[in-house]
Structure 1
Amino acid sequence: MQTLKRSMAAMVALLALSLTAVARAELPDFTQLVEKASPAVVNISTTQKVPDQVASGQMPDLEGLPPMFRDFIERSMPRGQGGQRPPRGAQREAQSLGSGFIISDDGYVLTNNHVVADADEIVVRLSDRSEHKAKLIGADARSDVALLKIDAKGLPTLKFGDSDKLKVGEWVLAIGSPFGFDHSVTAGIVSAKGRSLPNENYVPFIQTDVAINPGNSGGPLLNLQGEVVGINSQIFTRSGGFMGLSFAIPIDVAMNVADQLKKGGKVSRGWLGVVIQEVSKDLAESLGLDKPAGALVAQLVQDGPAAKGGLQVGDVILSLNGQAINESADLPHLVGGMKPGDKASLDVFRDGSRKTLNMSIGSLPDEEDEVAAMEGQGAERSSNSLGLTVSDLSADQRKTLDIKGGVVIKDVQDGPAAMIGLRPGDVITHLNNRQVDSAKAFSDIAKALPKGKSVSMRVLRQGRASFITFKLGD
């Protein structure tokens, strides 16, 4: 009997060891990956001349701001050096830190645009601690990608993966310099793909739960084969630190931008010339669609590619060149990845039936030119201080609401407007005690709003009017 008990105990112990071994075997071992990849990951420091009140460490009042997507390197709040504050009007040097990685053995380095934006000097520190002054070859704010060049040869590089082949749930790893701690390694999984972020219309971000903090910006996101699949770029946070939501630029997008920057110093993207919005359940029902899908055309740029190609306001774009548009955010990703002059075949839902439209893709204008293209057509993009896109009311809307003027909200981005709960479809009739007669008038009033003082706004929602107040930060 005693022998049987010993045998049973031994079997249980053996089974426990086997289960432990199996569990360990299922977890990835990152050690070799890190050893191979780390030498190609670099630390990037920048120096910028800033006014003394910024360099001395004065911080803007952030209290009351809503949760939002923030750059890792707080470009508007660089850290100052030295102890005493210089005389008023003087300038001081401020520094910021970020990460990057070498993409060619002759010294080309990829990082984020916001890491090096407005820098007077850029220094790249390699894994062997050697430092090199870097030249900015080009930068693209829309994708947040920058290409640097250092004078060095025979450098270690990273292999490129295929970000399109990434699967949700797949293990990924980040290497960077969070808070200046060089070559820190964190790991996690892909949480989602094709994410659209506020003010980032042309990048289908990879969402992960990899721990990312200030200083990781510009560093590589790697798969288990040690291939770069993305550039760590942004986080969602309430505290300023990591909260489990990290976002990376797909390497396919980043390398397309880098190649264009290397060849010509700028990036060209496809453009249709439309303002679109999401198709809600109620909109789908009212339009006769089986389910909420596609991108609803809310406005067309006069003489733009879409207008010339026969697209109309009220059309729902369901696919582009055979690729389904499940959410409205899918359309800018696809169009932006095309080249000016490319042919586009759009599957459109109009007046209860589907039809196909063929057109040529245009070239995306600069942001200022894009806004100017909308002016005079009843659309305005407001200043960043409010984060609103509005358009004039139609004659029918004015008649239905029994008002003479006002503007309707088309899009709400991060900012005061989102904080006070404004939504697309709301109608604004007064701003800062002034009547709003048009989108142009709204934009003019918004640009002149006082900071740090209460501002009133009269809003109509579903026929009911109310005044709300808010403050713009100093």
Structure 2
Amino acid sequence: MNRWLKQVSIVAISTFMMASMLSHATSLPDFTELVDEASPAVVNISTEQTVTTRTSSQSGQQLGPNSEELNEFFKHFFGQQPFGRNAPEQGEQQRSSLGSGFIISHDGYILTNNHVIDGADIIHVRLSDRREYVATLVGTDPRTDLALLKIDADELPIVKMGDSDKLKPGQWVLAIGSPFGFDYTVTAGIVSATGRNLPSDSYVPFIQTDVAINPGNSGGPLFNLDGEVVGINSQIYTRSGGFMGVSFAIPSKVAMSVVDQLKTDGKVSRAWLGVLIQDVSNDLAESFGLDRSSGALISRVLPDSPAEKSGLKSGDIIMTFNGESIEHSGELPYVVGQMKAGDEIDAKVYRDGKEQTITVTLEAIPNDPKVLAESKQDQNRLGMIVGDIPEEMAKEFDIDNGVVIEQVIGGTAARNGLQQGDVITMLNGKHIKSVSDFTEIAKDIPNGRSVPMRVIRQGYPMFIPFKIME
């Protein structure tokens, strides 16, 4: 009797587990219908570019990025070696790239990434039915890494555009593209986060996903479960060169605002405020008398900028801008970037313990690269924001050149032990006299090798080995 009961119990448990597994399986999304409907509007993009090459006169090996490792990479994935080992000492070679895109209008407008077609002489577009076209470049926007193409065709299938603002972490998303040249590869995952600000892109609040994205997926669409494009796959975070579970897509809202300007003008114009900003930590919020940590704290107002002309000051905390709440500092560059030169907006700021409204007339982003370099908030790969040395500090510590660290963002600067208030007077053997000097010298710092940095901390000079990790 006991044996019979034990067998019945085992069967019952097994039946329950099978039912539970079947129930769980049926709750997972089925993407087949979505893929059938959306795939015809996804395209493969390949480019041709003629480049001038030169080789070492002694070894015959090419100089620059055309390395043996890159040759092996292409040979492994594409069965070809675009940069031949026996290249002539001087001449022209054809370089190609692969990517994805998608059709947004029946008359042939196609959206992709700027880096997919950057520098191309010829852009080829292949549809799902194997028709091929040579595309015309309508316009590009490197700041958001978007490009708009046009092919001479009619009655083309198109994607449905969705509202990226409605995305929430945990929602299912799906990508279609051509990773490593494998056309119409489908990968799926979930939204990991929204509104991500990357060090190299302050104008895009990226969608972070765990969808498998690899070389060739760039420019392809990211769909929600309704079959709507909510993003354009653009970047991955990797230490190996391949997918590691963290990928980023440009929100559809950002993309379509860029498309409208590219169609009309062939370029995108943005407004400029001219401030350096940082997040408001809990400690800073308490020190300023705020109830909670929110807003964008102005650490520096650039000379002759719209911010300076409007009366904004260092120490102001921008709470809302043009009616949009600013919870984190990274949200401000995107909001400003959506405006146009000449727009007059109201900024609500927290100053001296109370809120006040300041009217700002925005201007076009300046063409002067030095001004642009100084206006980048957190794009310095050294992990810090630097500024001119205040006159009081220069007198107190008898300093006549260098830059002061206004903020340690993290990463490299933090790992090397740098602190806010440190004065950097020399980097990699070169004296620093201004912020522009520092910016130019920093560009040439190699990865993975220590260089000398002279720092003055509270009046005491010292050298430290400064190293940017690969």
1:140 is the counterpart of 2:141: yes
Aligned amino acid, residue 256 of structure 2 = M
Aligned amino acid, residue 457 of structure 1 = M
Mean Cα displacement is larger for which, 80-89 or 213-222?
80-89
**Where does residue 208 of structure 1 map in the other structure?**
209
**Where does residue 403 of structure 1 map in the other structure?**
399
**Where does residue 310 of structure 1 map in the other structure?**
311
Question: For 1:97-140, what per-residue CA distance to the aligned partner results, in whole angstroms no more than 9, with x for missing partners?
Answer: 11111111111110000110111111111111222111111000
**Where does residue 393 of structure 1 map in the other structure?**
389
Structure 1: runs of 5+ lacking an equivalent: 64-72, 74-78
User: Aligned pair in 2 of structure 1 residues 384, 16: CA closer, same or farther (>3 Å)?
Assistant: closer
Mean Cα displacement is larger for which, 353-362 or 226-235?
353-362
User: What is the CA–CA distance in structure 1 between the aligned matches of 2:11 and 2:439, rounded to whole Å?
Assistant: 79
User: What is the CA–CA distance in structure 2 between the aligned matches of 1:323 and 1:380, rounded to whole Å?
Assistant: 21
**Where does residue 267 of structure 2 map in the other structure?**
266
Question: For 1:160-186, what per-residue CA distance to the aligned partner results, in whole angstroms no more than 9, with x for missing partners?
Answer: 000001111100000111111111111
Q: Is the 8 A contact 2:164 2:231 kept in 1?
A: yes
User: What is the CA–CA distance in structure 2 between the aligned matches of 1:262 and 1:17, rounded to whole Å?
Assistant: 55
1:355 is the counterpart of 2:356: yes
**Where does residue 150 of structure 1 map in the other structure?**
151
Mean Cα displacement is larger for which, 80-89 or 270-279?
80-89
Q: Is the 8 A contact 1:52 1:85 kept in 2?
A: no
> After superposition, where does 1:1-400 map in structure 2 within 5 Å?
12=13, 15-52=16-53, 59=65, 81=82, 83-366=84-367, 368=369, 370-371=371-372, 389-400=385-396
Aligned amino acid, residue 126 of structure 2 = R
Tell me the TM-score normalised to structure 1 length.
0.84
User: What is the CA–CA distance in structure 2 between the aligned matches of 1:134 and 1:415, rounded to whole Å?
Assistant: 41
Q: Is the 8 A contact 2:66 2:83 kept in 1?
A: no
Aligned amino acid, residue 178 of structure 1 = P
Aligned amino acid, residue 394 of structure 1 = P
User: What is the CA–CA distance in structure 2 between the aligned matches of 1:98 and 1:438, rounded to whole Å?
Assistant: 41
Aligned amino acid, residue 124 of structure 2 = V
Aligned amino acid, residue 354 of structure 1 = E
User: What is the CA–CA distance in structure 2 between the aligned matches of 1:243 and 1:171, rounded to whole Å?
Assistant: 18
User: What is the CA–CA distance in structure 1 between the aligned matches of 2:437 and 2:320, rounded to whole Å?
Assistant: 36
The alpha carbon displacement at 1:283 in A equals 3.2
User: Aligned pair in 2 of structure 1 residues 287, 463: CA closer, same or farther (>3 Å)?
Assistant: farther
The alpha carbon displacement at 1:27 in A equals 0.5
Aligned amino acid, residue 139 of structure 1 = T
Q: Is the 8 A contact 2:378 2:409 kept in 1?
A: no
Question: For 1:285-309, what per-residue CA distance to the aligned partner results, in whole angstroms no more than 9, with x for missing partners?
Answer: 4333333322121222334322222
User: What is the CA–CA distance in structure 1 between the aligned matches of 2:116 and 2:411, rounded to whole Å?
Assistant: 22
Structure 2: runs of 5+ lacking an equivalent: 56-60, 75-79
User: What is the CA–CA distance in structure 2 between the aligned matches of 1:449 and 1:222, rounded to whole Å?
Assistant: 40
The alpha carbon displacement at 1:447 in A equals 6.8
Mean Cα displacement is larger for which, 104-113 or 305-314?
305-314
Question: For 1:329-352, what per-residue CA distance to the aligned partner results, in whole angstroms no more than 9, with x for missing partners?
Answer: 111111112233333221211122
Q: Does the residue aligned with 2:356 lie in a helix, a strand or coil? A: strand
Cα RMSD (Å) of the superposition? 3.6
User: What is the CA–CA distance in structure 2 between the aligned matches of 1:433 and 1:6, rounded to whole Å?
Assistant: 80
User: What is the CA–CA distance in structure 2 between the aligned matches of 1:369 and 1:93, rounded to whole Å?
Assistant: 35
Q: Does the residue aligned with 1:90 lie in a helix, a strand or coil? A: strand
**Where does residue 452 of structure 2 map in the other structure?**
456
The alpha carbon displacement at 1:420 in A equals 5.0
The structure 1 segments of at least 4 consecutive aligned residues displaced by more than 6 Å after TM superposition are 1-10, 379-388, 411-419, 447-454
Mean Cα displacement is larger for which, 217-226 or 344-353?
344-353
User: Aligned pair in 2 of structure 1 residues 471, 318: CA closer, same or farther (>3 Å)?
Assistant: closer
User: What is the CA–CA distance in structure 2 between the aligned matches of 1:49 and 1:412, rounded to whole Å?
Assistant: 42
User: What is the CA–CA distance in structure 1 between the aligned matches of 2:63 and 2:223, rounded to whole Å?
Assistant: 35
Q: Is the 8 A contact 2:452 2:466 kept in 1?
A: yes
Q: Does the residue aligned with 2:237 lie in a helix, a strand or coil? A: strand
User: What is the CA–CA distance in structure 2 between the aligned matches of 1:34 and 1:354, rounded to whole Å?
Assistant: 51
The alpha carbon displacement at 1:255 in A equals 0.9
User: What is the CA–CA distance in structure 2 between the aligned matches of 1:82 and 1:206, rounded to whole Å?
Assistant: 35
User: What is the CA–CA distance in structure 2 between the aligned matches of 1:413 and 1:60, rounded to whole Å?
Assistant: 34
Aligned amino acid, residue 22 of structure 2 = A
Tell me the TM-score normalised to structure 2 length.
0.85
Q: Does the residue aligned with 2:405 lie in a helix, a strand or coil? A: strand
User: What is the CA–CA distance in structure 1 between the aligned matches of 2:400 and 2:123, rounded to whole Å?
Assistant: 55
Q: Is the 8 A contact 1:198 1:413 kept in 2?
A: no
**Where does residue 66 of structure 1 map in the other structure?**
none
Aligned amino acid, residue 355 of structure 2 = R
The alpha carbon displacement at 1:465 in A equals 4.2
User: Aligned pair in 2 of structure 1 residues 5, 57: CA closer, same or farther (>3 Å)?
Assistant: farther
User: Aligned pair in 2 of structure 1 residues 134, 387: CA closer, same or farther (>3 Å)?
Assistant: farther
Aligned amino acid, residue 284 of structure 1 = A
The alpha carbon displacement at 1:414 in A equals 10
User: Aligned pair in 2 of structure 1 residues 292, 457: CA closer, same or farther (>3 Å)?
Assistant: same
Q: Is the 8 A contact 1:380 1:390 kept in 2?
A: no
The alpha carbon displacement at 1:471 in A equals 7.6
> After superposition, where does 1:390-469 map in structure 2 within 5 Å?
390-410=386-406, 420=416, 425-443=421-439, 455-461=451-457, 465-469=461-465
Q: Is the 8 A contact 1:134 1:148 kept in 2?
A: yes
Q: Does the residue aligned with 2:157 lie in a helix, a strand or coil? A: coil
The alpha carbon displacement at 1:41 in A equals 0.8
Q: Is the 8 A contact 1:381 1:390 kept in 2?
A: no
**Where does residue 67 of structure 1 map in the other structure?**
none
Q: Is the 8 A contact 1:176 1:216 kept in 2?
A: yes
The alpha carbon displacement at 1:29 in A equals 0.4
User: What is the CA–CA distance in structure 1 between the aligned matches of 2:124 and 2:417, rounded to whole Å?
Assistant: 43
Of structures 1 and 2, the one scoring higher in RCO (CA 8 A, sep 6+) is 1
